[in-house]
Structure 1
Amino acid sequence: MSDTFTIRRQVEFNHCDPAGIVFYPRYFEMISAVVERFFADGLGYSWASMGLLEGNGTPMGDISVRFHNPSRLEEWLTFDLSVKRLGRSSATLIVHCSCEDEPRFTCKATLVHANIKRGRSESWPDTVRRRMKSYLTETETGKTPA
């Protein structure tokens, strides 16, 4: 059974339109924050150390979001992140957002581990790859890992 990285966050005034509903571009900021926490807290590979010490980053290669229900000011959102696919230098993440079990959105995002100065992809470090595998929900064949 795979792990899921979970974080909760309260909807703040700065996330909302005048009606108190989350303005959809703010969800992308929340997704970025969840992914940043996943790398730092879930994988022990923070964007700061990755970028400042190694000159690497994880640019977004692809992202799609399916919105299900609106979120409102002061609600508590739960973000569950898992790894759908793990490649040599990329990973596809799935982020499910809900509020008290009511779905708010589902995101599929592919990140690339890249050397920023060289402008090309690089393999995930072995320790990061091992940690990321514990969050893997499906293999490329669609089977759950053993």
Structure 2
Amino acid sequence: MTKAFETTAQVRFAHVDPAGIVFYPRYFEMLNGAVEDWCEQALGADFHQLHIVRKVGVPTVKMSVEFSAPSCLGDRLTIGVMPIRLGRSSCDLDIRFTCKGELRLHAQVVLVCMDLTTHRATPWPEDIRPHIAEGLSQPA
């Protein structure tokens, strides 16, 4: 089985609600940050190059999320990103947030490669597609 790409996120004061736990929309910001890290570090295409220079976006078009346990101020989260399906212009990702081995959030995400000038789906660029394909696996 292929190992998921991993990045980390520190739970900061701005992420938590008055109860001291992550306010759920902040997880989505962290999730997007993990996708940005995955694009740059695993696919070799940072968001500046993709969006500004190449005019290619990777918006989330579908997301299913299960929150397993709360995360608190000061927690360091490990975020695993694993592609599980690659289409012509889409990609399904399995994303898991853990802290000290405990699952905090599990998300199934669908990204679509989009031409930012036409706002229409476009095939994955030839220099990016192989990197997604080599990371393909089935979620645990």
TM-score normalised by structure 1 residue count: 0.91
SS at match of 2:127: helix
- In the TM superposition, residue 9 of structure 1 has moved relative to its aligned partner by 1.6
Q: Equivalent residue for 1:124? A: 124
Q: Equivalent residue for 2:4? A: 4
Q: Equivalent residue for 2:92? A: 92
- In the TM superposition, residue 40 of structure 1 has moved relative to its aligned partner by 0.9
Pairwise CA RMSD: 1.3
SS at match of 1:45: coil
Q: Equivalent residue for 2:33? A: 33
Is the 8 Å Cα contact of residues 16 and 23 (structure 1) preserved in structure 2?
A: yes
Cα distance in structure 1, aligned partners of 2:48 and 2:3: 24
Runs of 4+ in 1 over 6 A off after TM superposition: none
Q: Equivalent residue for 2:58? A: 58
SS at match of 1:127: coil
Cα distance in structure 2, aligned partners of 1:73 and 1:88: 40
- Percent of residue pairs identical: 37
SS at match of 2:25: helix
SS at match of 1:37: helix
SS at match of 1:107: strand
Q: Equivalent residue for 1:105? A: 105
State the AA in 2 paired with 1:90.
S
Any gaps of 5 or more consecutive residues in structure 2?
A: none
TM-score normalised by structure 2 residue count: 0.94
SS at match of 1:126: coil
